[in-house]
C-alpha cells in the first residue's frame, strides 16, 4: 500500500470540489449572459421541431408572430391573414421543415399586406439528429432533430429599395425626353449646315453623345425590370434585316463620329423569333460596347446566320483592345467592370441584362477574345422559345 496523509487527500478533494463549483458558477453566468443577449436581440430566434412547433422563441420572435396575426405556438399557424401568399408559403415551409438536413439552410421572405411595406427575412437551419451541437435550449424534451428559425425585419431595407427603384425610373424617364430633343434638334440643324464641315462634325459628336446617354438610360431601366422579375418578353418572328436596320440607324452616327467601319451581314431571308425590344437591347448593348472599346480606324461587324435547326446565331465582332482571359468570367456579373476600363463611361450592368434576356429566350451567349486583336460575342436565339399559353417567355424572374 502507498500511504497518503489524510490532509493531502482532503486538500485534493477540496480543490476539485471548489474547481467544479467555480466552473458551474462560470457556466451559469455565461448561460445567463447568452440568454440575455438572445432575449434582447432585435432579430427573432426560435427553436422548432419538424412539425413547426415552437419549442423556444425570444422576444423579437414573439413580436414577429404578433405582426403576422397568428398563433405564436407554431410557425405554420402564426402565418395568418396578414401574410401575402400565405398558403403557398405554408406549403414551402412544411416541405422545408421535413427535408432540411443537418447544416442545410433555407431563406425566404415574408411580406405583410398593407401600405407600410412590412417585410421579414426568414432563415431556417437544420440541427444534427444526434444533438451533436449540444443543449441549445433548456427544454428537456430536446431531441437534437430541431430547426433554428432566424427572423429579421427588412421593412426599412425594402422601403429604401423601392425608393431607389422609383427614383431611377423617374429620373431616367425624365432624362429621355431632353435627350430625344437634342438628337432631333441636331439632325434638323445638320440638314441646314451640310456645307459647313466643321459644324457638321461637332453636331455629329453631339448626336453621338446623346445616343450614348439614351443607351445608358435604357440599360438602367432594363436592369431594374430584370431584377424585379417584371421584364415580360413576347417573342415574334421578325426579318433579321428589319431588326438590324434600326440598330444601324442608331449606331452609324456613333461609328462615323469615331471613324470606325460598321458593317452588317446575314444569310438571305434570315428570320429571328425574339422579343423585338429585347433583341434591340441585347445586340445594341454589344454594338455599343464594341464601338466604345474599338480605336479610331477599327471595325465592328454584326453577322446573322440561320443554323440548320432553324436557330439564329448572331456574331458581334470588333477589332478593339480585347479582354484578358482571367476577366472573361467576370464580364456578365452585375455591376462588374474591368479595372483597365474604369476610365470608359458605363454602368457595368449592360452585359448582365444581355445574358438575362438571351437566357430568357432559351438561348445562350459565348465570348472569345484575344488581347490586342479584338472580341467576338456569339449569341444563339432558338427558333422556338419557351413561351407560356399567353405567348410570353416563362423565365421572367431574373433576380439573384
Quick one: fold of 41-153?
Beta-Lactamase (3.30.450)
Q: Which helix (H) or strand (E) holds 378?
A: strand 374-381
Question: Span 68-87, mean pLDDT?
Answer: 85
| pLDDT over 50 at 74, yes or no | yes
Non-local CB neighbours of 256 within 8 Å, separated by 6+ positions: 204
Is 3.30.565.10 the CATH classification of the domain at 160-173+213-381? yes
Average predicted confidence (pLDDT) for the chain: 79
| pLDDT over 70 at 137, yes or no | no
Confidence bin at 399 (pLDDT 50/70/90): very low
Confidence bin at 100 (pLDDT 50/70/90): confident
Confidence bin at 383 (pLDDT 50/70/90): very high
- In percent, how much of the chain has pLDDT > 70? 79
Q: Name which residue leads in pLDDT, 201 or 285.
A: 285
- What pLDDT is stored for residue 130 in this prediction? 45
- What pLDDT is stored for residue 78 in this prediction? 86
Q: Cell numbers of 35, please?
A: 440568454
- What pLDDT is stored for residue 348 in this prediction? 54
Q: What is the DSSP string of 189-245?
A: HHHH-TT-HHHHHHHHHHHHHHHHHHHHHHHHHHHHHHHHT------EEEEHHHHHH
152-194 tens-digit pLDDT:
888 888 887 777 767 766 766 667 677 777 777 777 777 777 7
Domain boundaries, the chain: 41-153, 160-173+213-381
- What pLDDT is stored for residue 172 in this prediction? 66
- What pLDDT is stored for residue 238 in this prediction? 93
Q: Name which residue leads in pLDDT, 258 or 368.
A: 368
SS3 of 386, please? coil
- What pLDDT is stored for residue 208 in this prediction? 66
Counting other chains too, the contacts that 100-109 makes at CB distance below 8 Å and 24 or more residues apart are 100/124, 100/125, 100/126, 100/147, 101/126, 102/126, 102/127, 102/128, 102/129, 102/132, 109/154
| pLDDT over 90 at 344, yes or no | no
Q: Cell numbers of 336, please?
A: 462588374
Mean pLDDT check: name the lowest of 165-174, 336-345, 365-374: 336-345
| pLDDT over 90 at 314, yes or no | yes
Mean pLDDT check: name the lowest of 221-225, 242-246, 252-256: 221-225
Cβ count within 10 A of residue 185? 14
Mean pLDDT check: name the lowest of 114-123, 164-173, 291-300: 164-173
Confidence bin at 140 (pLDDT 50/70/90): very low
Amino acid at each position: 500500500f502507498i500511504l497518503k496523509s489524510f490532509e493531502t487527500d482532503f486538500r485534493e478533494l477540496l480543490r476539485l470540489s471548489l474547481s467544479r463549483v467555480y466552473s458551474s458558477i462560470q457556466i451559469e453566468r455565461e448561460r445567463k449572459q447568452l440568454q440575455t443577449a438572445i432575449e434582447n436581440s432585435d432579430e427573432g430566434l426560435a427553436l422548432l421541431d419538424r412539425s413547426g412547433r415552437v419549442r423556444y422563441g425570444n422576444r423579437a420572435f414573439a413580436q414577429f408572430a404578433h405582426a403576422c396575426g397568428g398563433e405564436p405556438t407554431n410557425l405554420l399557424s402564426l402565418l395568418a391573414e396578414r401574410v401575402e401568399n400565405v398558403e403557398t408559403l405554408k406549403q414551402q415551409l412544411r416541405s422545408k421543415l421535413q427535408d432540411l438536413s443537418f447544416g442545410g439552410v433555407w431563406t425566404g421572405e415574408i411580406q405583410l399586406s398593407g401600405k407600410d411595406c412590412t417585410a421579414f427575412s426568414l432563415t431556417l437551419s437544420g440541427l444534427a439528429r444526434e444533438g451533436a451541437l449540444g443543449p441549445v435550449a433548456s427544454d428537456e424534451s430536446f431531441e437534437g432533430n430541431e430547426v433554428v428559425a432566424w427572423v429579421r425585419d427588412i421593412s426599412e431595407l425594402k422601403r429604401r429599395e423601392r425608393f431607389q427603384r422609383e427614383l431611377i425610373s423617374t429620373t431616367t424617364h425624365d432624362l429621355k425626353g431632353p435627350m430625344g430633343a437634342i438628337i432631333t434638334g441636331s439632325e434638323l440643324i445638320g440638314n441646314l449646315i451640310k456645307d459647313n464641315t466643321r459644324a457638321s462634325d461637332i453636331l455629329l459628336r453631339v448626336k453621338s453623345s446623346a445616343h450614348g446617354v439614351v443607351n445608358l438610360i435604357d440599360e438602367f431601366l432594363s436592369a431594374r425590370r430584370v431584377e424585379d422579375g417584371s421584364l415580360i418578353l413576347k417573342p415574334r418572328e421578325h426579318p433579321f434585316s428589319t431588326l438590324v436596320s434600326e440598330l444601324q440607324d442608331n449606331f452609324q452616327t456613333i461609328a462615323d463620329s469615331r471613324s470606325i467601319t460598321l458593317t452588317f451581314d446575314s444569310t438571305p431571308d434570315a428570320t429571328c423569333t425574339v422579343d423585338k425590344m429585347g433583341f434591340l437591347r441585347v445586340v445594341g448593348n454589344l454594338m455599343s460596347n464594341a464601338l466604345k472599346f474599338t480605336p479610331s480606324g477599327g471595325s465592328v461587324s454584326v453577322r446573322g446566320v440561320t443554323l440548320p435547326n432553324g436557330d439564329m446565331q448572331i456574331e458581334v465582332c470588333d477589332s478593339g483592345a480585347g479582354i484578358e482571359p482571367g476577366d472573361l468570367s467576370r464580364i456578365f456579373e452585375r455591376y462588374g467592370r474591368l479595372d483597365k476600363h474604369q476610365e470608359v463611361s458605363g454602368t457595368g450592368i449592360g452585359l448582365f441584362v444581355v445574358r438575362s434576356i438571351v437566357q430568357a429566350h432559351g438561348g445562350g451567349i459565348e465570348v472569345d477574345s484575344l488581347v490586342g486583336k479584338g472580341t467576338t460575342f456569339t449569341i444563339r436565339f432558338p427558333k422556338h422559345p419557351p413561351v407560356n399559353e399567353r405567348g410570353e417567355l416563362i423565365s421572367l424572374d431574373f433576380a439573384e
